[in-house]
């Protein structure tokens, strides 16, 4: 079994919409060309913000993470990473037509397979699925799950309806069937405002509120009973910020004591469900700036099995080689980098040498 | 939380708290809009009788998510004659203020027209509510301080109402709700902050409201528990908006109290805001300080419903991060999730910390001697 680090969240950049055209069915390719589709980069990560690509990782055109070679040199080599999971965040997931969105999901997954996975054996990917239609999402999971390099199903933290709602359950059934965790990543299809009281005015505000959305979605997954219904499903929260978790669990647990008659299927304490079934990637890590404070926070999280190493490449979350928050203890560092990812991703246990 | 209390009549024995306390979230209640008619033009009385007050939610009456208990209230807080909890000063004093030794109580009347779709009706109900607070509550019990309930979606009307009460010794704050039509840092609301700062009134922002948007960025949840937990997420968004829009740069002596939205999350939010602002400050040039510095200077939090870590000592760690001077004790009387001052904070505190949280911070913030 490997002892090389496993990076659980990296983002290949789709350089332009037309890069996906070779992977679109002919009808959809003609549609995109005839109608003159604009580029579909998401406003969750506008191309030129300092956060979207770390400055020293930008190429001559100002883009980052556009080739496997660039990614390997900048994100794998510095950390001795042996395996890296790619999460494609392209904005086509916000398309309103079920069929068009499904076509672009197929294209994205095939593009990742051919342009990335085929070119570097260390790379793995998440299956991008249409978020508007669970039936089509299941079709895509079934189609791509045959390729064991796809190790997870990717969903955005803010989509059509709260993640726990039953219309999403076929996705969870398919993921569980194929031993794929559900990876929930920061980002939105902007069907709803980023806050519970409307639209923000800045990118900074949108991004800060991503960690708020994770809290709401964890409530949905818990309250709707997803963890009871799918007993072997794991949920990975990616780019969530992490440090919101203890205070969130304290509040949810308190209300669960008072309101559990509303959700009787949640029979185990919510915090223990989360500690067993939820994992979080460790960039960004919105923590205090002292070692004692970090120890306290990890202690409040209550489990060092939950945290997964991730660079969030090419997003700018750290400088130099400080991909692991520098004050994290050595023991946790090892668990985050190897042991926890292997426990989380069944398919890595099968396929990583 | 009081979830197993039976429906009993009369006053209940409540554990005696030796320390004098401030309760920064008490909910007085009318017997319906009729209670407010003495302070309302005939036109609006007729309007209420015919059309009612409608909000950005589906039903004529009651909340979008049915509460856990009738009126979301303690079952032992109903009066023997059937009047609802919070509607009678004598009973409130007997059940809560006296036995819990509340020497300062901040009144936050909910359901008082804030967020009603008709802006003039919203204003009429808010105005009448403020007159009623004085007539029925603060003029009869000097321990109680009122909130200026304002029709915040019409900031000009809200400013007039603040100015009507500015300088009145019975009013300690301006009351807003978290679930507004736009995030509260946005400029449409700034006249309210300007007027509150000028009147030296705290701006209290209580959980709940009727902005019409889903409480999550991913749509409408199914359950009341999701909404109740979600108020903490909304409160985080409110603080984020106030800080990033530069409200505290523009109104540096503004005091904002977040009410009933949780407190423990404030540390993590401050870390996140600081980390992102350092990278993205080009976008927000009006901010001259770290976001956490504005939070430490301009924002306070009420305790109820206090987060309950296991072990409880972790709450003290969190207060260390947030600042003990930021924490204001509150019970939320007479609601079902009332925090009993004798039991709600079972953490080791120094005597100065205990006095700060239970009384002194509130006196300082609200300017009450």
pTM beyond 0.90: yes
Record: contact A258-B215, CB cut-off 8 A: no
Cis peptide before B311 (omega within 30 of 0): yes
Chain segment A211-246, per-residue pLDDT in tens: 999 999 999 999 999 999 999 999 999 999 999 999
CB-CB neighbors (< 8 A) of B184 in chain A: 197
Comparing CB atoms, the residue among A193, A207, A248 nearest residue B217 is A193
Question: Residue A224 and residue B222: Cβ atoms within 8 Å?
Answer: yes
A262 touches B224 (CB < 8 A): yes
Q: Residue A238: its pLDDT value, please?
A: 98
How far is B329 from B257, CA to CA, in rounded Å?
Answer: 12
| Alpha-carbon span A49 to B230, nearest angstrom | 30
Nearest of A84, A82, A132 to residue A112 by alpha carbon? A84
> What phi and psi values does residue A52 have, to the nearest 5 degrees?
-65, -40
Structure tokens at B226: 């999701």
| pLDDT value of residue A327 | 84
Domain count of the fold of chain A: 1
What local confidence, expressed as pLDDT, does residue A350 receive? 85
The answer to whether the Cβ–Cβ distance between B228 and A286 falls below 8 Å is no
Nearest to A220 by CA among B218, B197, B366: B218
Name the β-bridge partners of A125. A86, A150
Residue B103 parent element (H or E): strand B102-107
Asked, for residue A107, whether it belongs to a domain, the answer is yes
Give contacts of A168 with chain B, Cβ < 8 Å.
none
Decide if A227 is inside a domain. Answer: yes
To 5 degrees, how large is the angle CA B111–CA B112–CA B115? 80
Domains of chain B with CATH codes: 21-366 (3.20.20.140)
Low-confidence spans in chain B with pLDDT less than 50: 1-17
CA torsion angle B152 B156 B159 B163 (round to 10): -140
Burial class (CB in 10 A: 0-12, 13-18, 19+), A19: middle
Spatial separation of the C-alpha atoms in residues A153 and A124, rounded to whole Å: 12
Residue B305, preceding peptide bond in cis (omega within 30° of 0): yes
Low-confidence ranges of chain A (pLDDT < 70): 1-2, 353
Name chain A contacts of B318, Cβ cutoff 8 Å.
247
In a domain, A1, yes or no: no
- CATH number of the domain residue A246 falls in: 3.20.20.140
Are B206 and B110 spatial neighbours (Cβ–Cβ below 8 Å)?
A: yes
How many CB pairs lie under 8 A apart between chains A and B?
246
* Polymer length in residues for chain B: 369
Which of B212, B234, B247, B272 to mutate: most A Cβ within 10 Å? B272
Closest approach of A227 to chain B, Cα-based (Å): 16
- pLDDT tens digits, one per residue of A237-287: 999 999 999 999 999 999 999 999 999 999 999 999 999 999 999 999 999
Task: Identify the residue among B1, B75, B217 best suited for mutation to test binding to A, counting A beta carbons within 10 A and taking the highest.
Answer: B217
Cβ burial, residue B169 (10 Å; 0-12/13-18/19+): exposed
Q: Which residues of B touch A319 (CB under 8 A)?
A: none
List the one residue out of B221, B235, B236 whose CA is nearest residue B177. Answer: B235
Cβ A192–B218 below 8 Å, yes or no?
yes
* Domain-located, residue A119: yes
Q: Are B76 and B5 in contact (CB under 8 A)?
A: yes
Cβ separation of B230 and A213 shorter than 8 Å?
no
**Cα–Cα distance list, A54 to A18, A47, A58, A113 (Å):** 24, 11, 7, 25
Residue A11, Cβ density class (10 Å: 0-12 exposed, 13-18 middle, ≥19 buried): buried
pLDDT of residue A2: 64
CA distance B236 to chain A (A): 7
DSSP state of B219: B
Domain that holds residue A244: 6-351
Contact B307 A254 (CB under 8 A): yes
For residue A241, list its beta bridge partners.
Answer: A285
Tell which residue, B150, B251, B264, has the closest CA to residue B209. B150
Q: Which of A327, A343, A323 is nearest to A335 (CA)?
A: A343
- Sequence-distant contacts of A169-174: CB under 8 A, at least 24 apart: A169/A134, A169/A226, A169/A229, A169/A230, A170/A134, A170/A135, A170/A137, A170/A138, A171/A129, A171/A134, A171/A137, A171/A138, A171/A141, A172/A226, A172/A229, A172/A230, A172/A233, A173/A138, A173/A230, A174/A137, A174/A138, A174/A141, A174/A142, A174/A145
pLDDT tens digits along B81-103? 999 999 999 999 999 999 999 99
């Amino acid at each position: 079994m490997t002892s090389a680090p496993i990076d659980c969240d990296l983002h290949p950049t789709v350089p332009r919409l037309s890069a996906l055209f070779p992977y679109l069915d002919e009808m959809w390719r003609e549609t995109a060309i005839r109608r003159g589709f604009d580029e579909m980069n998401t406003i969750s990560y506008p191309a030129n913000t300092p956060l979207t690509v770390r400055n020293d990782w930008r190429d001559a055109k100002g883009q980052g993470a556009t080739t496997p070679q660039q990614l390997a040199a900048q994100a794998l080599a510095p950390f001795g990473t042996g395996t890296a999971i790619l999460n494609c965040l392209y904005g086509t997931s916000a398309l309103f037509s079920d069929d068009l969105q499904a076509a672009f999901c197929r294209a994205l997954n095939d593009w990742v397979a051919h342009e990335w996975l085929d070119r570097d054996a260390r790379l793995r990917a998440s299956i991008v699925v249409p978020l508007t239609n669970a039936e089509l999402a299941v079709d895509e999971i079934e189609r791509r799950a045959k390729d064991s390099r796809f190790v997870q199903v990717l969903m955005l933290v803010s989509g059509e309806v709260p993640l726990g709602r039953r219309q999403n359950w076929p996705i969870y059934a398919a993921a569980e069937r194929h031993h794929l965790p559900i990876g929930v990543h920061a980002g939105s299809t902007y069907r709803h405002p980023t806050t519970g009281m409307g639209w923000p005015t800045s990118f900074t505000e949108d991004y800060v509120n991503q960690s708020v959305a994770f809290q709401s979605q964890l409530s949905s997954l818990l309250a709707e009973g997803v963890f009871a219904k799918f007993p072997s499903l794991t949920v990975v929260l990616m780019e969530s910020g992490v440090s919101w978790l203890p205070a969130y669990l304290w509040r949810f647990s308190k209300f669960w004591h008072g309101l559990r008659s509303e959700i009787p299927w949640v029979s185990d304490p919510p915090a223990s469900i989360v500690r067993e079934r939820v994992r979080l990637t460790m960039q960004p890590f919105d923590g205090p700036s002292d070692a004692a404070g970090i120890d306290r926070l990890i202690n409040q999280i209550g489990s060092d099995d939950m945290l997964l190493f991730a660079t969030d490449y090419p997003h700018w979350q750290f400088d130099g080689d400080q991909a692991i928050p520098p004050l994290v203890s050595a023991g946790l560092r090892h668990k985050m980098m190897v042991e926890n990812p292997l426990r989380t991703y069944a398919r890595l246990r099968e396929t990583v040498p | 939380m009081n979830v197993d209390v039976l429906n009993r009549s009369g006053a209940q024995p409540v554990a005696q708290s030796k320390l004098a306390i401030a309760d920064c979230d008490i909910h007085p209640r009318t017997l319906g809009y009729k209670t407010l008619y003495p302070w309302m033009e005939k036109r609006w009385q007729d309007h209420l009788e015919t059309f009612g007050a409608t909000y950005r939610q589906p039903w004529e009456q009651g909340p979008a998510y049915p509460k856990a208990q009738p009126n979301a209230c303690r079952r032992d807080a109903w009066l023997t004659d059937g009047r609802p909890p919070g509607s009678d000063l004598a009973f409130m004093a007997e059940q809560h203020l006296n036995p819990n030794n509340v020497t300062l109580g901040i009144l936050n009347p909910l359901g008082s027209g804030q967020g009603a779709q008709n802006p003039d009706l919203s204003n009429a109900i808010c105005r009448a509510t403020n007159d009623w607070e004085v007539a029925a509550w603060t003029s009869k019990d000097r321990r109680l301080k009122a909130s200026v309930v304002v029709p915040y979606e019409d900031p000009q009307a809200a400013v007039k109402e603040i100015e009507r009460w500015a300088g009145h010794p019975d009013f300690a704050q301006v009351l807003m709700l978290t679930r507004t039509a736009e995030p509260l840092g946005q400029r449409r609301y700034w006249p309210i902050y300007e007027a509150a700062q000028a009147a030296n009134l705290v701006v209290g922002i209580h959980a709940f409201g009727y902005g019409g948007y889903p409480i999550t960025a991913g749509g409408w949840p199914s359950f009341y528990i999701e909404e109740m937990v979600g108020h903490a997420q909304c409160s985080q968004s409110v603080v984020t908006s106030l800080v990033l829009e530069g409200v505290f740069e523009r109104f540096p002596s503004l005091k904002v109290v977040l009410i009933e939205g949780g407190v423990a999350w404030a540390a993590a939010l401050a870390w996140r805001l600081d980390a992102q602002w350092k990278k993205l400050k080009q976008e927000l040039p009006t901010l001259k300080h770290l976001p956490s510095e504005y939070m430490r200077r301009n924002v306070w939090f009420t305790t109820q419903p206090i987060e309950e870590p296991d072990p409880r000592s972790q709450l003290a760690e969190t207060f260390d991060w947030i600042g003990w001077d930021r924490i204001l004790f509150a019970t939320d009387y007479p609601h079902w999730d009332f925090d009993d001052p004798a039991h709600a904070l079972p953490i080791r505190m120094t005597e100065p910390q205990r006095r700060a949280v239970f009384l002194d911070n509130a006196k300082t913030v609200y300017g009450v001697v």
